[in-house]
Structure 1
Amino acid sequence: MSGPQGAPREHHPAWWYGDVPVPLHARLLAGLYAGAGALRRRLYRVGLLRQQHPGIPVVVVGNITAGGAGKTPLTIALVERLRAAGWNPGVASRGYGRDNAKRALWVEAATTPREGGDEPTLIVRRTGVPLRADIRRAAAARALAQAGCDIVVCDDGLQHYALRRDVEIEVIDARRRYGNGQLLPAGPLREHPERGRRCDFRVVNLGGPGTPTLNGETGFGEWPMRLRAERAVPLSGGRPRSLSDFAGQRVHAVAGIGDPERFFAMLRGLDIAVVPHAFPDHHRYSREDFEFGSRLPVLMTEKDAVKCAEFGSDLFYAVPIDAELPEAFWVALLSRLTQTRTAYQHPTP
């Protein structure tokens, strides 16, 4: 799954983020995509398609680009910070890649990634939060409210307009931003950039140590997020190791996320000699995927690790990622949510 000499293979069209002409067929399909999206949004605006709300505050974490931008680390950080502030959060998720996507279910620590999806399984195992996987996120939000949660965090739901929300958080990858600025499939955008600017908070994922960025800074009204990785957790059990133990060593690095290079760059920033192995987002692993031809430590993202426990040996490690944001971001967000909760508890006559 890697390119020549270990170079990671891109899993998106070259024209999305490169100086490559967009093919005519992609431009034509993008026009159809834009028309369909505009019609759907209009139907919600005029009420022909109805939005639903669970009666408790709803926070949506998402992005307007296809692929990963750092939503899952932010969702985990949000759950932990809400709990520390006295909230009882629940997470609503589609559970992308589940075997039976049409069946709603509660994702628990013992749920397999095939049953619950890789990202929901990771979120639950990291936080223990109540998580409802349902392609109908509005139904998932209602179930969480009925289960006693007092706030819903919707993981990856900016385009799921059936669920009415109180706060929207857009996550942007600093290295890629909006690519060529065109809609799918001519570019990486699900919606036009103006959609992101209408979100209440815009978080820019600057990555971790040594991660390259296109502009290095966030823009006006954007909050910076850094990803911190400090330990490696053996898949076969045992005590975690400090990532500094791997400094100066060659390792196989495995990432099946939206932007694998972000993970590889993070490890390189810690002076780890990376042999990169990039896989498609949400890849389902087999033993054959790990026949690398050399016996080196294997460092992988947590999202990949939850799917690889059965292949784990004493050389396989998961690398937990923690999201760090300015304290001012949390103050602003929690203040907004407190006002929202008060409005639901004491509605205006």
Structure 2
Amino acid sequence: MSVADHWLEAAYQDRFWLWPLRPLGMLYRAVMTRREAAYRCGKRAVWQAPVPVIVVGNITLGGTGKSPLVAWLTRWLSERGYTPGIVTRGYGGKAPSYPLWVTPETPVAQSGDEPLMLAQQTGVAVVADPLRARGAKTLAAAGCNVIVSDDGLQHLALGRDIELAVVDGARGLGNGRCLPAGPLREPPERLNRVDAVLVNGELQAALMVASTPMRLAPIGWRELKSNKHRPLSPLPFTPPVHALAGIGRPERFFTTLKALGISGEWHAFPDHYPYDAASLRFTPAEDPQPLVMTAKDAVKCRDVAPPDSWVLDVEATLPPEFEQWLAARLATLSEETN
């Protein structure tokens, strides 16, 4: 476990050695509060798209399940006749220029892992750009009539019509303190100003705001090399396995594997880890075991993983009440722009 991972775990558990950092946390909180106020009152420029913008984000560090929600949103929108597009920062990638149109064939070194994964999963237009407003302009000019901003809650230069904040049910808001004394990017009160709070998994601690349950459900296996899909059962491989996860919270993936009855050894990597063949060599070549991974890891492992490698695909599931609320909000926005 890296130093950053140790610190993050301590922040969620409120370890005593973080207490001296509380004054810095209070300073960070004040800076973020003033920054948000500056955008809201017009002191800082905000670009408002001519089409509805749905921002998906969180106020904590670490994985919460934002990307599966973004994928769910684009599928849901497409099924209802919209032409959605995704704008994302492109973390971990370095493109020759921006905005970068991300296709299923874009090199992951240029796009970053999550944008490439979303392009492969959704089939909709995906643009990576550190300047979200510029990326959103590109999507709107290309004919997208709804823009979904992935991990965009703190990118206030892009105007938004709907804000969705995702919270990890198991971790909640940790010790409730801002960086570096805690895991929060913004004060807890920020959740009072979003349109909906979605809790991924069973909520272990009170949030003090109304929330909607969200679950990540396994939907099937995918052979990494061929991209062929297989059902969850029977297993297309024989355990025990080596399982790897370079995501915000690897334990969630390993818990899912255990629930599916899969045994083996678990290998947690830092988020956005740049895999190579050596990092995936867990057993001698003469005694290989199947390798299983997340969809986010798969986009970086396809060219370096051993032949018997598998991807567990998951999708977000949300209650009908949330779908009804979202449909009504979008209908209202359409009436206002017509």
**Larger deviation, residues 20-29 vs 227-236:** 20-29
User: Are residue 224 (structure 1) and residue 219 (structure 2) matched?
Assistant: no
Structure 2: how far apart are the matches of 1:101 and 1:65? 30
Question: Paired residue for 1:240, among 202, 226, 229?
Answer: 229
Percent identity between the two aligned chains: 41
Specify the code of the residue in structure 2 equivalent to 1:309.
R
Give 1:296's aligned amino acid: Q
Name the counterpart of 1:287.
Answer: 277
Matched residue, 2:172: 177
Shift of 1:38: 2.4
Residue 216 of structure 1: CA displacement? 8.7
1:144 aligns with 2:132: no
User: Which whole-Å CA distance do the structure 2 matches of 1:119 and 1:21 have between them?
Assistant: 34
Pairs within 5 Å for 1:97-246? 97-100=92-95, 103-206=98-201, 213=202, 215=204, 221-237=210-226, 239-246=228-235
Question: 2:34: which partner in 1?
Answer: 39
What is the CA-CA distance between 1:328 and the residue it aligns to?
1.5
Give the SS at the match of 1:230: strand
> Aligned-pair distance for 1:25?
5.0
Aligned letter for 2:266? P
Aligned residues: 333
Check the 8 A contact 2:191/2:209 in 1, yes or no: no
Q: Which residue of 334, 340, 349 corresponds with 2:327?
A: 334
Against the structure 1 CA distance between its residues 252 and 238, is the aligned structure 2 distance closer, same or farther, given a 3 Å change threshold? Answer: same
2:268 to 278, 290, 300: 278
1:256-275 correspondence runs (5 A)? 256-275=246-265
Q: Which amino acid aligns with 2:155?
A: H
- 3-state SS of the aligned residue for 1:245? coil
Q: Which of 77, 80, 90 is matched with 2:75 structurally? A: 80
Q: CA deviation at 1:102?
A: 6.6
Unaligned runs of 5+ in 2: none
Equivalents in 2 of 1:72, 1:11: separation in Å? 24
The residue type paired with residue 78 of structure 1 is L
RMSD of aligned residue pairs (Cα, Å): 2.2
Q: Which runs of 5+ in 1 are unaligned?
A: 3-8, 207-212
TM-score by length of 1: 0.89
Deviations 1:294-327 (A, max 9, x none): 6211110000000111113321111111111111
Cα distance in 1, alignment partners of residues 301 and 147 from structure 2: 29
Question: Residue 267 of structure 1: CA displacement?
Answer: 0.9
Structure-2 separation of matches of 1:304 and 1:106: 21
The 3 A distance-change label for structure 1 pair 217 and 13 is closer
C-alpha separation in 1, matches of 2:176 and 2:332: 35
Tell me: CA distance 1:334–1:186, structure 2 relative to 1, closer, same or farther (3 Å). Answer: same
Q: Helix, strand or coil: the match of 2:36?
A: helix
Using a 3 Å threshold, how does the CA distance of structure 1 residues 228 and 24 change in structure 2: closer, same or farther? closer
What is the correspondence of 1:301-312 to structure 2 with a 5 Å cutoff? 301-312=294-305
1:59 aligns with 2:54: yes
SS at match of 1:97: coil
2:91 is matched with 96
Output the CA distance in 1 between the equivalents of 2:167 and 2:62.
11
Amino acid at match of 2:255: A
The whole-number CA distance in structure 2 between the counterparts of 1:125 and 1:133 is 14
Displacement of 1:261: 0.4
CA-to-partner distance for each residue in 1:175-219, whole Å, 9 max, x for gaps?
00101111011111001111012211111111xxxxxx5539997
- 2:200–2:214 CA contact under 8 A, matched in 1: yes
Further displaced range: 221-230 or 129-138: 221-230
Which letter does structure 1 place at the counterpart of 2:15?
Answer: V
Relative to structure 1, the CA distance from residue 12 to residue 337 in structure 2 (aligned partners, 3 Å threshold; closer, same or farther) is: farther
Per-residue displacement from partner, 1:221-249 (whole Å, max 9, x unpaired)?
A: 31111111132211111633333334983
